[in-house]
């Protein structure tokens, strides 16, 4: 199996045992354990917010290290692709566009628990990740 792009919703769900998506995140990552994982730097930042506020940013770092998640920087190509996505879909938020652009530029299916993001990923032909 190739690469799998993760949305922040998956990482947040996995790390927070009280999150509504916790068990779904565990199952999805277990089903995709052969994939190499990647995450847009913007999604990584989003994942860190709550843990840093509660003094537990180390949990996110452990997640990244243990699962060998590659954090993809937002460079010129991804930034432009995200802007193109937003220009065509005005309701798409920039953080979501960056995640979608990252998945698209790496030709990786996107695993997200956000129905709107998943719908756009399908429209873009990003494939289906097991969730």
For residue range 51-83, what is the model confidence (pLDDT) as tens digits?
Answer: 999 998 899 999 999 999 999 999 999 999 999
Write down the pTM of the prediction: 0.91
For residue range 80-93, what is the model confidence (pLDDT) as tens digits?
Answer: 999 999 999 999 99
Mean predicted confidence (pLDDT) in 2-31: 95
Band of pLDDT at residue 21, cut at 50, 70 and 90:
very high
Residues in the chain: 131
- Structure tokens that stand for 124 in this block: 């873009």
CATH architecture for residues 3-123: 3-Layer(aba) Sandwich (3.40)
Percentage above 90 pLDDT, the chain? 89
Mean predicted confidence (pLDDT) in 97-124: 95
Q: SS3 for 65?
A: helix
Helix (H) or strand (E) holding 19: none
- Chain-centroid distance, C-alpha 53: 20
Q: What are the sequence ranges of the domains in the chain?
A: 3-123
């Amino acid at each position: 199996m190739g690469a799998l792009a993760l949305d922040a919703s998956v990482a947040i769900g996995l790390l927070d045992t009280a999150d509504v998506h916790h068990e779904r995140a565990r199952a999805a990552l277990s089903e995709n354990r052969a994939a190499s994982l990647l995450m847009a730097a913007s999604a990584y930042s989003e994942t860190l917010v709550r843990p840093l506020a509660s003094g537990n940013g180390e949990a996110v770092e452990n997640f990244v290290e243990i699962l060998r998640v590659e954090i993809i920087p937002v460079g010129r190509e991804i930034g432009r692709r995200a802007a193109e996505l937003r220009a065509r879909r005005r309701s798409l938020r920039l953080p979501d566009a960056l995640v979608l652009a990252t998945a698209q530029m790496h030709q990786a299916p996107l695993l997200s628990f956000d129905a709107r993001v998943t719908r756009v990923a399908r429209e873009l032909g990003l494939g289906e990740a097991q969730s």
